[in-house]
Amino acid sequence: MSGAISRDEVAKVARLARLTLSETELETFTEQLGQILEHARDMNSLDLTGVAATAHPFGITNVVRDDVVTASLDRDTVLAMAPDVRDHRFAVPRILGEAP
Amino acid sequence: MTLPTNWEMVVGLEVHTELLTKSKLFCGCANNFGSEPNTNICPVCLGLPGSLPVLNREAVEFAMRIGMALRCTIAPSTFHRKNYFYPDQSKDYQISQYDLPINAGGYLDLPDGSRVSIERAHMEEDTGKSTHLGGSGRLAGADSSLVDYNRCGVPLVEIVSGPDIRSAAQARVYAQELRAILIATGASDGRLEEGSMRFDANVSVRRSGEPLGTRCEIKNLNSLRSLQRAIDYEALRQIELIGDGGVVRQETRHWDENVGETSTLRVKEDADDYRYFRDPDLVDLAPDQDWQDRVRAALPPMPAQRRGEVVALLASPTEAQLDAVEVVIDLGLEKYVHAVAAAAGDAALALSRAANEIAADIDHVDRLTTEAFATTVAMEQRGELSATQAKTVLASLLDQGGDPRSIAAALGFEQLSADSLGATVASLIEEHPDEWQRYREGDDKLAQFFIGQVMKVTKGQANGKAVIGELQARR
């Protein structure tokens, strides 16, 4: 049967994730991702009539916390880890286009 | 503005509002506008490895309030990651609600009687704030960008209307009414200028009776004026384009308020493939009936009802009075008007004093009790205080609180109206015998002359009605 994922689809996913893959890597990952998806396809052989979809491995809902302010990180400590800082802000290469 | 004959615009709005929680949506950093840059950030809102988000209960309740006010169904919901590369999110995804929003299927009735459907009102986190250096200020011209993550993770609700709006003016009214509702729920401060409420508009055009046209989404609408102008501009642009044989492309467009035009930002393509998937760190949100009931019980009355209750106190409201009602509802001042009405006072006068004098010093409104306000209005109504004096007393009450009678006495207002007004009028009559003679002979216009003279002498502290009383007593 044809693979669970095509080479083009892998290339697209890589592009969306800003990954540059060589031709060889593209082959390798198409193969490997295909195997993972094939494995998941095994579920299709089961009769799941009447079984509710599982949204999360824990069957719990409404995990919330109180609206209380807690300490934030020290700004100097955080900014010291940034590659570039100006005016106490993270400096990044100029942005082309607006936020999605 | 009217469109060419046989053309119709179809508009839907997406409105983002920040919620007035103390802390952020998924972490305990302060949700505070105007803090020093990057002082309200932590491993969770920065998306550092190993950090885990935990949902803020208050944000959920505000979202439910908004949904209830918009007659939505509160439904079990989930959180997804919206993946994209842009420095306004350091973790490269935004946590949002996707196919299962907390609120769905509601509506908003506008004061003009029209109804706009609400498709959904879902929760999501806000992004950081970018400042763009160099160039003209537009992003494309910037040399580099500076990012402040204080806003990153601030709770938002995005309210998506159905494509039910048919004019830019209606869009504006919808936005105004929605803003009033958001303020009334306590979920938002509605401050457009601080960006705590933001608009995106989806605009398409069609000839009457035709199916929906291709829509464009307009971003960067930060005021009601921008919203209205941009929609009108965009509808006309599309009609012109089609008229010239062109085709509208589905795209995102940027509104430039200075130029008064929209321009292409990006064409919808790969960039919109956000690879949404469920955030594995967050479990389902499914408020049970009990939780919903508690939130609903605490929901204050909405603007439409409150507006109606104030208007009902007026005999035949003028346009100016209806405007004053808007101000009073917007600022939550109607309790002052109701206090006066409850004491059988002049509601119209109370409305005017609330919409002008209280509104002028709204930051100190807590110092003014409804009793002190009602007493002041009653004193003005009885002529013990002139309009100017009443305004002065209200300003003083807002400034330092206290008792209106003591304030009036301390300022010498009561003495003026009781004793010295008569003396002032008497001496002015002596000074202007000709005018007095004509007044006595029935020329009532001269009353205005004497009132003017009295105001000059008393520096505006006299009561016009009281002056006429003094004049008539001597006529």
Tally Cβ neighbours within 10 Å of residue B435: 17
**Pairwise CB contact (< 8 Å): A100 & B274:** yes
Q: Is A77 on the interface with B (CB under 8 A)?
A: no
pLDDT at position B450 over 50: yes
Q: Is B28 on the interface with A (CB under 8 A)?
A: yes
Q: What are phi and psi of A92, to 5 degrees?
A: -125, 160
Quote the minimal CA–CA distance from B322 to chain A in Å: 38
Quote the minimal CA–CA distance from A60 to chain B in Å: 7
Question: Would you place residue B286 in the very low, low, confident or very high pLDDT band (cuts 50, 70, 90)?
Answer: very high
pLDDT at B414: 63
Q: Convert B215-244 into a string of H (helix), E (strand) and C (coil).
A: CEEEEEECCHHHHHHHHHHHHHHHHHHHHC
pLDDT at B416: 62
Nearest to B38 among A15, A78, A92 (CB): A78
Q: Is B149 on the interface with A (CB under 8 A)?
A: yes
Tally Cβ neighbours within 10 Å of residue B240: 12
pLDDT at B415: 58
The percent of residues above 70 in pLDDT, for chain B, comes to: 96
Distance CA B111, CA B329 (A): 14
The string of DSSP letters for B122-168 reads: EEEE---EEEEESTTSSGGG-SEEEEEGGGTT-EEEEEEE-S-B-SH
Chain B residue numbers with beta carbons less than 8 Å from the beta carbon of A9 are none
Find the residue in B nearest to A62 (Cα). B285
**Cβ(B224)–Cβ(B232) under 8 Å?**
no
pLDDT at B146: 92
Distance CA A73, CA B465 (A): 65
Q: Among A5, A79, A98, pick the best mutation site for testing chain B contact (most B Cβ within 10 A).
A: A98
**Pairwise CB contact (< 8 Å): B285 & A62:** yes
pLDDT at B351: 97
Quote the minimal CA–CA distance from B454 to chain A in Å: 59
pLDDT at A2: 52
**Pairwise CB contact (< 8 Å): B144 & A94:** yes
Give the three-class secondary structure for B377: helix
Give the domain ranges of chain B: 7-296, 303-474
Q: What's the whole-number mean pLDDT along residues B336-345?
A: 95
**Which residues pair with residue A64 across a beta bridge?**
B55
Query: In Å, what is the CA distance from B206 to each residue of B3, B7, B118, B236?
Result: 11, 6, 22, 11
Q: Among B29, B45, B92, B145, pick the best mutation site for testing chain A contact (most A Cβ within 10 A).
A: B145
Question: Would you place residue B96 in the very low, low, confident or very high pLDDT band (cuts 50, 70, 90)?
Answer: very high
Query: Distance of alpha carbon A63 from its chain centroid, rounded?
Result: 23
Q: Which of B33-37, B57-61, B323-327 has the highest mean pLDDT?
A: B57-61
Distance CA B26, CA B93 (A): 14
**Pairwise CB contact (< 8 Å): B86 & A69:** no
Q: What's the whole-number mean pLDDT along residues B7-32?
A: 97
Q: Is A40 on the interface with B (CB under 8 A)?
A: no
pLDDT at B221: 92
pLDDT at A76: 95
**Pairwise CB contact (< 8 Å): A73 & B54:** no
Buried b / exposed e over A63-77, threshold 16 CB at 10 Å, is: ebbebebeebbebee
Q: What is the DSSP letter of A81?
A: T
Any idea which of B109-118, B165-174, B242-251, B422-431 has the lowest mean pLDDT?
B422-431
**Pairwise CB contact (< 8 Å): A70 & B29:** yes
**Pairwise CB contact (< 8 Å): B272 & A100:** yes
Q: Is B119 on the interface with A (CB under 8 A)?
A: no
pLDDT at position B400 over 90: yes
Longest dimension (CA), chain B: 93
Q: What is the DSSP letter of A47?
A: -
Distance CA B162, CA B166 (A): 11
Q: What are phi and psi of B14, to 5 degrees?
A: -115, 120
Question: Which class in CATH covers the domain with range A7-45?
Answer: mainly alpha
pLDDT at A1: 39
Quote the minimal CA–CA distance from B392 to chain A in Å: 41
**Pairwise CB contact (< 8 Å): B57 & A66:** yes
Tally Cβ neighbours within 10 Å of residue B394: 26
Nearest to B38 among A67, A70, A89 (CB): A89
Query: Has the ipTM of the complex gone over 0.85?
Result: yes
Q: Which residues lie below 8 Å from residue B220, measured CB to CB, with a gap of 6+? A: A98, B226, B254, B255, B256, B257
Amino acid in the structure at residue B456 = K
Query: In Å, what is the CA distance from B26 to each residue of A64, B42, B198, B282, B422?
Result: 9, 11, 21, 10, 69
Quote the minimal CA–CA distance from B321 to chain A in Å: 40
Distance CA B15, CA B171 (A): 11
| Token duo for residue A97 | 């286009």
Any idea which of B120-134, B316-330, B393-407, B415-429 has the lowest mean pLDDT?
B415-429
Distance CA B220, CA B198 (A): 8
Question: Would you place residue B357 in the very low, low, confident or very high pLDDT band (cuts 50, 70, 90)?
Answer: very high
What's the burial of B408, exposed, middle or buried (CB within 10 Å: 0-12/13-18/19+)?
Answer: buried
Q: Is A91 on the interface with B (CB under 8 A)?
A: yes
**Cβ(B426)–Cβ(B454) under 8 Å?**
no
pLDDT at B417: 60
Nearest to B283 among A63, A75, A93 (CB): A63
**Pairwise CB contact (< 8 Å): A67 & B22:** yes
Chain A residue numbers with beta carbons less than 8 Å from the beta carbon of B30 are 69, 72
pLDDT, block means (10 residues), chain A with 100 residues: 80 89 95 93 89 80 97 95 93 71
Quote the minimal CA–CA distance from B304 to chain A in Å: 30
**Pairwise CB contact (< 8 Å): A94 & B76:** no
